Amino acid sequence: MANVFDLCFSRLSISCQATYFILFISLAQPQNIVDFKPSYLTATGPTVTALLLGNVSDISLNLRTVSPSNTTGSIGPPSCVAEVTQWVLTREQVGKTAVRVQLNLDKSLRLCGENESDTNCCPKPLCVLETLQVSVCVGGTPQASLLIQARIFALLLPANAGSENKTVIPNQVYQPLGSCPCDLTFGACDVRCCCDTDCSSEDLKLFVSHCLPGPFGGQVSPASDYQCSVQSLKNSPDWFPFLCVNSPPENNPYLGLFYQGYTITPEPGPSFQSPVSPAPVPVNVYIQGSPILTLNDQYFTIPQKLLGQCVNNAPVAFLKNFQVNCVTLLRSCPTGSPLRTLPTDLRIKVKNGPGGDVLVDVIDEVAFDLSQFISSTNAPSDEGLVCENVTLALDYKLYWEGNDITSITVTQTVGTITFNSSVALTTRYSAVFLNGELMGETNSGNPGYQVGRPVIAGIVDTLDNNTGLVQRVSISLWKPVSDGLCVSAEMKPILFGENSTSGCLLPVSRHNLTQCDLLRETVTSLQNNLMTATHVAKSGNPDPFTTTDWVNISFLTQNSSTTMEDSTNSCYGVPSHQHIHVWSLITGMVGGVPQRDICALQVSYSMSPWTLDCGGGDVSPCVDPTETQLFPITSSVSFTDILVNTGPPKTRFQINFTEYDCNRNDVCWPELAFPITKYYTGEPYSQSLAKGLILVFFFITASILGTPWRQIRQAWK
């Protein structure tokens, strides 16, 4: 450039001045500078990626295969002439000044098999060994280049393509899994595992001389000690010829130490979505527990409780009675089911079982006393919210005969609710199955009582032509709700084998304590509501017409020997506690399950004094005759098992000495000869006797020919 300037200034020619002006303009223009990051790569896989940075507009990419010079060892300059290679060149614009350049190998890396004519495979384990050059050109002039050294080996793929089906592990009894423990990767060849069936013959050639030894590599070395071919004549024990085993070397104790044969089934993971109910399955005949279906093959539903929560659309099961109470906090008038149900919504057709249908008959009732439905509410005002025709109760009666439903009636109780801001509404839903006019009662066992089932009680019906029919009634305990008062308390049945105590509260004022006789009668009446029965069933499935299946209930008379004078603020002898004591007895076994029967039931009362408490600074109950205090009324039940002694008591020697007790000792010497007795039924008696005699003969022969007898003969000589 300096020579050009000197020549032009010396000659001062017009042509040189023009040349100087053109060079000055070209130097003033910005240069197209681009560069690869990185500029050199080593590829071991079928994909290569690099970034091209700079002014990437109007550029072209060219790919060719290059090789170093034999004399200098250097790579030639980049070229803008593209060649055909086994790689596919792609580009992706990732910014104004950046391009992602990616090369993908257009060839399979599968190792070619023997005598295979397909060219799309690798004839050698080293599949690709070449040098690639990617050139960036602008207007046919190279601007930058990228060198890639590709050294890629063939993939060791299984002979058979893998399947996405569930993995079936063979039964270990017939096909042992431990024959090749080093096969750790499913569908691929494990290096040095010569017993891996996924390895082809070409794969095995790579490590056939370096196979994993021992049982882990599928080889039994050394052979097991119990093999007859292992022991030599000099080192073999005297018992060896009789107890050694002739078996193939593949059957060794290492087999079966890895997995138990079964089929792996994928299990769904946890989900926070609500479960989807299965579609109803049409039934031809109803049996106990079958869901009742409507005419359009949908579940016949009534609100019920599930896991302590009320479910509005719960299917009704055939011959399953229930009664539930659902509490709903209302802040506005309900508009939908089940709190706002029209009679037309209840008149649906239900399948009766044999192929016909029955229409639900609706009976409407209006409730004016809402005390049993409204447990808490704000004081109503003139501006309160008024909700009319609110469904308070749905009581279904389903009449059945055999396996058929003959008719269904529902009593819908509605009422008008007025509240200010909110109200806690308690609605009742029930379903009772009646056979004619008799309710289908469920038993509590067959024949003995089952733990957790209700105790069955009854009263003798003396008005039914003296037939001695026992009508079932319940024996209950207190079940307080909401405020815990006895006036709103419910009752729960006594469950067999479960001790329980419960109670409720009775408000008593100073005026009530001035009438102690009336107070005692009131408490006695409340306690008698829990026990209306006179008989209790012995077993869990009593016959109402058989008096021997029932036991009289004994009531202990109240002890009034120690009487005390009642005062103004106190009453004595109040039966505030009722206790029920049940005695049960094991009468037999059915299928290994003990059967328990009730042999006696006793009801007793505990008296206590009730006195107003005027301490603690609160003297209003003792001054105001209408001010009340809460006094508890309780009930409890306890169960006692009567132990039956079937034999004389054991001596101290029988209790402590357990050497010959087969029930308390792992070794049972009295049953040493059990296989040759008549009580052994595993095989015919003649065969077991013959095998036993042969075994005795072997023991005698072994003792005669063995080392101890040989030493005795040498000492004798």
Please give the C-alpha separations between residue 560 and each of 356, 564, 607, 629, in angstroms, as whole numbers. Answer: 65, 9, 9, 26
Q: How far apart, in whole angstroms, are the C-alpha atoms of residue 626 and residue 628?
A: 6
In single-letter form, the type of residue at position 518 comes to: L
Parallel/antiparallel/unpaired status of strands 593-611 and 570-590: antiparallel
Query: Which residues face 305 on adjacent strands?
Result: 310
Query: Which residues face 500 on adjacent strands?
Result: 637
SS3 assignment, position 584: strand
Q: Following DSSP, what letter does each residue of 272-303 receive, concatenated? A: -SPPPPPPPPP-SS--TTPBPBBTTS-B-EEE
How high is the pLDDT of residue 617? 60
Q: Following DSSP, what letter does each residue of 3-44 receive, concatenated? A: HHHHHHHHH--HHHHHHHHHHHHHHHSPP--EEEESSEEEE-
| Residue 479 neighbours by CB distance under 10 Å | 13
Q: Following DSSP, what letter does each residue of 624-664 receive, concatenated? A: -TT-EEEEEEEEEEEEEEEPP--SPPPPHHHHH--TT-TTT
Secondary structure tally for the chain: helices H, strands E? 10, 29
How high is the pLDDT of residue 655? 65
How high is the pLDDT of residue 167? 56
How high is the pLDDT of residue 174? 45
How high is the pLDDT of residue 231? 66
How high is the pLDDT of residue 589? 82
Question: For residue 685, what is the enclosing H or E element?
Answer: helix 685-705
Superfamily of domain 35-111+121-153: Immunoglobulins (2.60.40.10)
| Residue 456 neighbours by CB distance under 10 Å | 30
Task: Enumerate residues 6+ apart whose C-beta is below 8 A from 41.
Answer: 48, 50, 146, 147, 148, 149
Q: In this structure, is the dihedral angle defined by the CA atoms of residues 115, 120, 126 and 130, taken in order, positive or negative?
A: positive
Residues 200 and 111 sit within 8 Å (Cβ to Cβ) = yes
Residues 346 and 362 sit within 8 Å (Cβ to Cβ) = yes
Task: Enumerate residues 6+ apart whose C-beta is below 8 A from 385.
Answer: 332, 333, 418, 419, 420
Residues 527 and 467 sit within 8 Å (Cβ to Cβ) = no
Paired tokens of 95? 């910014």
In single-letter form, the type of residue at position 512 comes to: N
Average pLDDT per block of 10 residues along the chain, 717 residues long: 39 40 38 77 89 85 85 81 88 86 89 81 88 88 88 74 56 56 86 89 86 74 68 66 72 53 56 64 80 89 85 88 87 87 88 86 87 63 77 90 88 88 87 71 80 87 63 84 78 89 88 85 88 88 84 77 64 89 87 85 90 71 78 91 72 67 70 73 79 85 74 73
Please give the C-alpha separations between residue 185 and each of 113, 191, 203, 263, 470, in angstroms, as whole numbers. Answer: 22, 10, 15, 18, 73
How high is the pLDDT of residue 251? 64
Residues 545 and 469 sit within 8 Å (Cβ to Cβ) = yes
Paired tokens of 285? 């005949």
Q: How far apart, in whole angstroms, are the C-alpha atoms of residue 2 and residue 53?
A: 33
Chain center to CA of 55: 62
How high is the pLDDT of residue 210? 85
SS3 assignment, position 583: strand
How high is the pLDDT of residue 639? 92
SS3 assignment, position 112: coil
Q: How far apart, in whole angstroms, are the C-alpha atoms of residue 138 and residue 42?
A: 26
Q: Any idea where the domains of the chain sit in the sequence?
A: 35-111+121-153, 193-232, 290-435, 453-641, 660-716
Task: Enumerate residues 6+ apart whose C-beta is below 8 A from 130.
Answer: 65, 150
Parallel/antiparallel/unpaired status of strands 570-590 and 628-642: parallel
How high is the pLDDT of residue 638? 93
